Amino acid sequence: MSTLHVIDHPLIAHKLSIMRNKKTGSKDFRELLNEIAMLMGYELTRDLPLEEITIETPLQKTKAYTISGKKLAIVPILRAGIGMVDGLLDLVPVAKVGHIGLYRDPETHLPVTYYCKLPADIDQRIVILVDPMLATGGSASDALTKLKEHGCTHIKFMCLVAAPEGVAKVQADHPDVDIFTAALDEKLNDHAYIVPGLGDAGDRIFGTI
Ligand code: PRP
Ligand code: URA
């Protein structure tokens, strides 16, 4: 069973509260989303393996540590996932970025795939799949399946707000993938929106309301 990590840092809680407020505009919403992505990325990368190297400081030779093994890939689910990429790239500038395009059918709420472009060596990388909203879990689950079809074996899923229904679906479909969220909300409403949530993340990021 995958683990759900709720990253309840005070800075993240404060920034998320501003994002939830319907009076917050796109500019602030975008900036805060990237700031939270960076803060969450710090936690998410905590278990990256290190290797010992020898370097020479201006004074003497010494042991030092550098990240070893698999490198990172960040994969946003379009559109809203794009809003978390820059924050993560600030932390790991050498990460490669793939894109998976999905939208929810307004009637069925089921995801429809329209785009997929991934780094050629994605199967050799630790992948962080990002999307601010985990609602029914259909989009995240389909994107994870797509990544596995491309050979990915080491994947983490990062979102901002999760509903219990979405967490249950991802855990059932992908028990090998840990979920990282800034908040676990109460439930979905009749339109499969997260409540209290923050509304439509893509619309709020890109001002398409
Ligand atoms: C939103 C969100 C997720 C999805 C979550 O995208 O960014 O991708 O819904 O819902 P789910 O867990 O029920 O699948 P949306 O379909 O609104 O597309 P957009 O990002 O292009 O606006
Ligand atoms: N997508 C969003 O952007 N928000 C929700 O609450 C659910 C799906």
Closest CA to 16 of 3, 31, 4, 2: 31
> Residue range 148-153: average pLDDT?
98
Band the pLDDT of 2: cuts 50, 70, 90: confident
Q: Is the per-residue pLDDT at 68 higher than 90?
A: no
Helix, strand, or coil (residue 9)? coil
Residue 160 token pair = 């901002």
Whole-number Å distance between alpha carbons of 47 and 30: 28
Average pLDDT over residues 10-32: 98
203 a catalytic residue: yes
105 is catalytic: no
Q: Which tens digits make up the pLDDT trace of 41-64?
A: 999 999 999 999 999 999 999 999
Q: Is 66 noted as a catalytic residue in this protein? A: no
> Does ligand 2 come within 6 angstroms of the Cβ of 134?
no
Which residues, listed in sequence order, are joined to residue 65 by a DSSP beta bridge? 52
The active-site residue out of 62, 90, 105, 108 is 108
Is the pLDDT reported for residue 70 higher than 80? no
- φ and ψ at 2, to 5 degrees? -70, 160
Q: Judge whether residue 12 has pLDDT over 80.
A: yes
Closest CA to 130 of 207, 205, 208, 26: 205
Please tell me the pTM assigned to this model: 0.96
CA of residue 134 to ligand 1 center, whole Å: 8
Active-site hit among 20, 86, 104, 173 = 104
Report the pLDDT value the prediction gives residue 1, as an integer from 0 to 100: 77
Strand segments, DSSP code E, in the chain are 4-6, 50-56, 61-67, 72-78, 96-97, 99-104, 111-117, 126-130, 133-134, 155-158, 161-162, 178-181, 183-184, 187-188, 194-195
What DSSP character marks residue 46? Answer: T
Expressed in angstroms and rounded, the spacing between residue 104 Cα and the centre of ligand 1 is 6
